[in-house]
Amino acid sequence: MKSSDTNKISFTEIHQALPQIQCGRCDTPGCKEYAESIVEGAPINRCIPGGNETLKKLQTITGNIDQTLDHSYGPSIEPQVALIVEDACIGCAKCIPKCPVDAIIGAPGKLHQIDPDLCTGCELCIEPCPVDCIIVEKIKSNDAITLRAQSQERYDRKRLRVTSKKKKISLNSSSNQSVANLYKKLL
Ligand code: SF4
Ligand code: SF4
Ligand code: SF4
């Protein structure tokens, strides 16, 4: 077996052991990136939302049994979903770009809502809300696991969309620059 195959198997196992909240508290953007960095040798103790349960799984997979949770990467995240208090939402749309799994629905100037079947409870939308109208509601642990099962797929789709949009903007701005340079030469 090639070493790249070994890495691939390790990555899959490690990724599956992570809780799929996509919160970025491990100092990587999401669970996939953290799994990749563990394969590359990063410490296995940074997923505080996964707690000791996740750490134990990672210890079994990697054989690294010496590390304890590094709480500087906390705080933890309870099984929960976020909700928008409808009467308070001003429709500013500042929460939408922060959601790693596209669980927030709404257009500028309109009331926003969170799809409870998609929310991982990551809390990333709370801080940017200027009127503090996003709250969290505790849910059962098993329900949270079910909700998070598809989060990587949605996370990947959102990142792909955002990256293509950025590329388009950068291409447009470089072509705008070329036009501006042409004008300068002509004047
Ligand atoms: S749940 Fe959060 S802290 Fe844990 S691996 Fe995923 S992104 Fe990192
Ligand atoms: S709605 Fe908020 S808490 Fe839920 S996944 Fe999106 S950013 Fe995270
Ligand atoms: S950031 Fe807050 S006020 Fe703005 S759209 Fe989102 S929930 Fe509504």
pLDDT tens-digit readout, 95-133: 999 999 999 999 999 999 999 999 999 999 999 999 999
Q: Is 25 in the pocket of ligand 3 (CB under 6 A)?
A: no
Q: How many CB atoms lie within 10 A of CB 143?
A: 13
DSSP per-residue letters across 16-79: HHS------TTSSSSHHHHHHHHHTT--S---TTTHHHHHHHHHHHH--------GGG-----S
User: What does the block give as tokens for 158?
Assistant: 């959102």
Contact 158, 104 (CB under 8 A): no
pLDDT band for 174, please (50, 70, 90 cuts): low
Would you say residue 6 has pLDDT above 60? Answer: no
Angle at the Cα of 65 from the Cα atoms of 63 and 66, rounded to 5 degrees:
135
Measured CA to CA, the distance from residue 30 to residue 27 in angstroms comes to 8
Identify the CATH assignment for 3-73 out of 3.40.50.300, 1.10.15.40, 3.90.550.10, 3.30.70.20.
1.10.15.40
* Residues with a CB atom less than 6 Å from ligand 2: 82, 98-99, 101, 103-104, 114, 119-125
Contact 21, 49 (CB under 8 A): yes
Find tokens 């996003």 and name the residue: 134
Mean pLDDT of 166-174: 66
| Average pLDDT of the chain, as a whole number | 89
Q: Is 91 in the pocket of ligand 3 (CB under 6 A)?
A: yes
Q: Kindly give, in sequence order, each residue whose CB lies less than 8 Å from that of residue 43, ignoring residues fewer than 6 positions away.
A: 67, 70
- Identify which of 45, 19, 51, 49 has the alpha carbon closest to the alpha carbon of residue 32: 19
Would you say residue 181 has pLDDT above 80? Answer: no
Parse the chain into domains and list their residue ranges.
3-73, 80-148
Mean pLDDT of 158-183: 68
| Interval 68-92: pLDDT, tens | 999 999 999 999 999 999 999 999 9
Identify the CATH assignment for 80-148 out of 3.30.70.20, 3.30.1370.100, 3.90.226.10, 2.60.200.20.
3.30.70.20
Contact 125, 98 (CB under 8 A): yes
Q: How high is the pLDDT of residue 164?
A: 85
Compute, in angstroms, the gap from residue 125 CA to the centroid of ligand 3: 9
Q: Which atom of ligand 3 is nearest to the CA of 134?
A: 7
- Identify which of 85, 137, 136, 135 has the alpha carbon closest to the alpha carbon of residue 111: 85
Mean pLDDT of 151-164: 94
For residue 105, report the phi and psi dihedrals to the nearest 5 degrees.
-115, 135
Compute, in angstroms, the gap from residue 101 CA to the centroid of ligand 2: 7
Q: Is 98 in the pocket of ligand 3 (CB under 6 A)?
A: no
Whether the domain at 3-73 and the domain at 80-148 fall into the same CATH topology: no
Q: How high is the pLDDT of residue 167?
A: 74
